[in-house]
């Protein structure tokens, strides 16, 4: 069936669906028989109740959805100070009964080109960002953290067509962990580049990203690599995150099995280059889904390190819930295999409020102005969709 017709048909129906990037194109998940809204009370029970079968699976034998940032903190015993909330669910998973493979050319024209309010408001201006930056710089000097990610949010009021946004985003800035969730009262549009967990059998892979360079007409991958290798701050940040991800894997993997498969490669996106490594391990025999999630989430590359003390610093400082941002989206199959990303480069639209969250890393060599500007560079591809 024609991809355009499938997209038009699914978008005209009043039922939820999910689109997720695959190596060959996209998968469309729909006709959900279950929708589980997660809370602190039911999250562990949900994870532990996912059936683990050794029989041959049907393609639809899985749950797909997301864990929000706050519920992942709860799972590892991190507490929060009081925050402003928009009462968005802490996580939602769906059981699909239909999965359709789509090609990589997602083209869709919305029936109504609704008027969008383009102006975004940022929750932390440069002056306040610098104050937080300087506070965390002191914490680094005092040894409480070595690297910490300051989150800023861009918000506007806007009724959007999420499928239109996702198709345009996939055309202009396709990323390996891109996904769309469309439900009755919310949508998530994402061009996330970062794979947190890829598990098959006892093999597990993570792909930490740490290092960002704004593109210009004089830059290519080779020059970007030279920049990262010669930049002490970027190299230090990358090495710290790689070490932390290796430690996270080492808690659940056979001793000596955790190896760096590819170290410090370059990935190219619409507005920037990223510094990336690939780490692989072999899981211990009795490690279950809950153990993997608690060890690997929230992903360290978007938090800082060491993970626990840095999360405590962040959660005492941040005044708003992160919601989906730096949570994880993906699926868990009924044989225990799973794939999860880190939710970054994403738009959460809930009750017609669009929210884009971004963060940049602070280390001892960081500059407040540079990090504040880096946040905007990361948000730009998403903000441009509202033009």
Are the C-beta atoms of 162 and 189 separated by less than 8 Å? yes
Are the C-beta atoms of 71 and 38 separated by less than 8 Å? yes
What proportion of the chain, given as a percentage, has pLDDT over 70?
97
Instruction: Provide the 3-class DSSP secondary structure of residue 131.
Output: helix
Total domains in the fold of the chain: 1
**pLDDT band, residue 271 (cuts 50/70/90):** confident
Distance of CA 274 to the CA centre of its chain: 15
Distance CA 36, CA 118 (A): 33
Q: pTM here?
A: 0.93
Burial level of 175, CB count in 10 A (0-12/13-18/19+)?
Answer: buried
In 3D space, the residue among 253, 237, 240, 239 whose CA is nearest the CA of residue 205 turns out to be: 253
pLDDT of residue 260: 92
Q: Does position 249 have pLDDT exceeding 60, yes or no? A: yes
CA distances 145 to 208, 297, 303, 309, Å, are 19, 18, 11, 7
pLDDT digits (tens, 9 = 90+) for 158-198: 889 999 999 999 888 888 999 999 999 999 999 998 999 99
Are the C-beta atoms of 16 and 32 separated by less than 8 Å? yes
pLDDT digits (tens, 9 = 90+) for 192-241: 989 999 999 999 999 988 888 888 888 999 999 999 989 887 888 888 88
Are the C-beta atoms of 241 and 210 separated by less than 8 Å? yes
Distance CA 151, CA 324 (A): 13
Q: Which residues contact 322 (CB under 8 A, 6 or more apart)?
A: 68, 69, 70, 151, 357
Instruction: Kindly state the tokens that stand for 357.
Output: 């969250």
Q: Which residues pair with 67 in a beta bridge?
A: 91, 328
Range of the domain at 339: 3-386
pLDDT of residue 117: 56
Average pLDDT, the chain: 91
Terminus-to-terminus CA distance in the chain, angstroms?
32
Are the C-beta atoms of 69 and 327 separated by less than 8 Å? yes
In 3D space, the residue among 212, 178, 210, 215 whose CA is nearest the CA of residue 193 turns out to be: 178
The sign of the torsion formed by the CA atoms of 291, 335, 7, 87 equals: negative
The phi, psi pair for 97, rounded to 5°, reads: -110, -10
pLDDT digits (tens, 9 = 90+) for 349-372: 999 999 999 998 788 888 999 999
Q: Which of 67-76, 84-93, 244-253, 337-346 has the lowest mean pLDDT?
A: 84-93
What's 271's domain CATH number? 3.60.120.10
Q: Which residues pair with 147 in a beta bridge?
A: 305
């Amino acid at each position: 069936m024609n991809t355009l017709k499938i997209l038009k048909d699914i978008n005209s129906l009043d039922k939820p669906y999910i689109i997720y990037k695959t190596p060959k194109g996209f998968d469309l998940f729909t006709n959900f028989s279950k929708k589980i809204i997660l809370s602190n009370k039911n999250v562990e029970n949900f994870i532990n109740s996912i059936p683990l079968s050794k029989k041959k699976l049907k393609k639809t034998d899985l749950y797909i959805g997301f864990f929000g940032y706050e519920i992942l903190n709860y799972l590892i015993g991190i507490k929060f100070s009081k925050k402003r909330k928009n009462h968005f669910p802490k996580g939602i998973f769906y059981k699909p009964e239909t999965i359709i493979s789509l090609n990589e050319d997602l083209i869709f024209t919305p029936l109504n080109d609704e008027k969008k309010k383009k102006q975004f408001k940022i929750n932390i201006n440069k002056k306040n960002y610098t104050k937080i930056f300087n506070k965390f710089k002191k914490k680094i000097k005092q040894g409480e953290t070595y690297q910490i990610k300051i989150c800023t949010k861009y918000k506007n009021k806007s009724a959007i067509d999420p499928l239109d946004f996702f198709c345009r985003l996939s055309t202009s800035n396709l990323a390996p962990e891109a996904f769309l969730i469309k439900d009755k009262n919310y949508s998530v549009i994402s061009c996330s580049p970062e794979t947190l967990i890829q598990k098959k059998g006892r093999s597990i892979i993570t792909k930490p990203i740490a290092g960002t360079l704004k593109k210009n007409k004089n830059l290519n991958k080779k020059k970007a690599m030279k920049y990262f290798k010669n930049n002490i701050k970027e190299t230090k940040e990358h090495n710290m995150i790689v070490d932390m991800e290796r430690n996270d894997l080492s808690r659940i993997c056979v001793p000596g099995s955790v190896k760096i498969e590819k170290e410090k490669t370059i990935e190219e996106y619409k507005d920037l280059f990223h510094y990336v490594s690939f780490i692989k391990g072999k899981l211990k025999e009795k490690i279950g889904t809950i153990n993997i999630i608690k060890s690997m989430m929230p992903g360290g590359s978007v938090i800082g390190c060491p993970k626990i003390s840095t999360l405590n610093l962040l959660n005492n400082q941040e005044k708003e819930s992160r919601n989906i941002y730096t949570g994880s989206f993906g699926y868990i199959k009924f044989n225990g295999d799973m794939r999860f990303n880190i939710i970054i480069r994403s738009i959460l639209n809930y009750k017609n409020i669009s929210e884009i969250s971004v963060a940049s890393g602070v280390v001892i060599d960081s500059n407040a102005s540079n990090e504040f500007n880096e946040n905007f560079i990361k948000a730009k591809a998403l903000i441009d969709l509202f033009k």
